[in-house]
């Protein structure tokens, strides 16, 4: 005997899609989707409210975990973390944005490969440290940067963190995706060891490092071509000191 499956509870998915397309408040969208799904499944109102309340009780500590590091990073930025990072990297003459990001990519992949995924990230590493250091290294070589160049460097910094984390954590045997793949294959009758999956993730991680490292090398070449004319006159763009760059750029602006 076959039973008819009602697809009406899936209306919650449509509510979420429509809500995000119309750019409504995310909390309002999720709450509306939960209520719509419950009503479509013929749940009584008190059961819907009980389910929402239970979910809130179970996850009420998550906002604290997310917001507390953001508050700490914001406090450090207010006291000059970004400026100190730029000053420090400007003292390294051989530093370029591409070289800096390649080193970070290597460190990010290696740390993610041993399960230390929390050592990087956009809020705690890219925004306060990595992006300002990439901007500082470029500004030291070529002088004042346009907003378009700054946004490009920030985008490359964020992409480098994403690539390093995504492909590095696939080597960690306790990573959730590896466990999911092993379980799925086991249910399909294919028995594999988590270590084998992790080992075969190494060539992919290596290829990702080479490909993205090449893109970062190309970034340096593009910046060299585009910004060579911005370097202070009478000095080499690759060896101009931060003091010379700042003073001569300021003189050009005043003129």
Which residues of the chain are modeled with pLDDT < 70?
1-5, 56-77, 79, 81, 229-255
Lookup: tokens for 223: 């910046």
Asked if residue 205 lies in contact with residue 167, where contact means CB atoms within 8 angstroms, the answer is yes
From CA 235, how far away is CA 97, in angstroms rounded? 20
Integer Cα distance of 7 and 37 in angstroms: 10
| DSSP single-letter state for residue 41 | T
The answer to whether 201 and 170 are in contact (CB under 8 A) is: yes
The pLDDT value recorded for residue 241 is: 43
User: pLDDT tens digit string along 166-224?
Assistant: 999 888 877 777 888 888 888 888 888 888 888 888 999 999 999 999 999 999 999 99
Q: Residue 71: what pLDDT?
A: 63
Ramachandran assignment for 121, one of left (phi > 0), alpha (psi -120 to 50 degrees), beta (any other): left
Evaluate whether 34 touches 52 at the Cβ level (below 8 Å): yes
pTM of the model: 0.64
Contact between 105 and 164 (Cβ < 8 Å): yes
- Look at residue 166 in the predicted model and tell me its pLDDT: 92
Tokens 């041993």 map to which residue?
A: 114
Token pair for 44: 């009584």
Neighbours of 75 (CB within 10 A): 10
Contact 167, 182 (CB under 8 A): no
Cα separation values, 29 from 12, 25, 37, 63, Å? 9, 6, 12, 18
CB of 132 closer than 8 Å to CB of 85: yes
Alpha carbons 35 and 49: distance in angstroms, whole number: 8
Can you give the pLDDT at residue 242? Answer: 42
pLDDT of residue 192: 85
Which two structure tokens, joined as six digits, stand for 181?
């793949």
Q: What is the pLDDT of residue 120?
A: 85
Closest CA to 120 of 89, 163, 153: 163
Structure tokens at 68: 């507390």
Q: Return d(Cα 181, Cα 11) in angstroms, integer.
A: 29
């Amino acid at each position: 005997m076959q039973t008819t499956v009602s697809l009406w509870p899936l209306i919650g998915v449509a509510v979420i899609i429509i809500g995000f397309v119309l750019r409504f408040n995310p909390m309002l969208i999720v709450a509306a989707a939960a209520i719509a799904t419950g009503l479509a499944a013929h749940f009584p109102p008190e059961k819907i409210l009980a389910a929402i309340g239970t979910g809130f009780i179970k996850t009420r500590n998550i906002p604290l975990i997310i917001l507390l590091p953001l508050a700490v990073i914001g406090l450090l930025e207010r006291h000059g973390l970004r400026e100190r990072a730029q000053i420090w990297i400007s003292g390294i003459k051989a530093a370029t944005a591409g070289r800096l990001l390649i080193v970070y990519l290597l460190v990010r992949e290696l740390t993610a490969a041993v399960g230390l995924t929390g050592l990087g990230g956009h809020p705690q590493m890219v925004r306060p440290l990595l992006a300002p250091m990439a901007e500082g290294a470029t500004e030291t070589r070529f002088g004042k940067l346009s907003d378009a160049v700054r946004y490009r460097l920030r985008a490359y910094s964020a992409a480098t963190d994403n690539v390093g984390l995504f492909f590095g954590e696939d080597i960690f045997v306790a990573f959730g995706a590896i466990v999911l793949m092993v379980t799925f294959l086991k249910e399909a009758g294919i028995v594999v060891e988590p270590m084998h999956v992790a080992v075969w993730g190494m060539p992919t991680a290596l290829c990702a490092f080479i490909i993205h490292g090449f893109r970062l090398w190309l970034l340096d070449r593009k910046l060299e071509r585009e910004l060579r004319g911005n370097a202070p006159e009478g000095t080499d763009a690759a060896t101009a000191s931060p003091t010379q760059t700042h003073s001569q750029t300021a003189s050009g602006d005043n003129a």
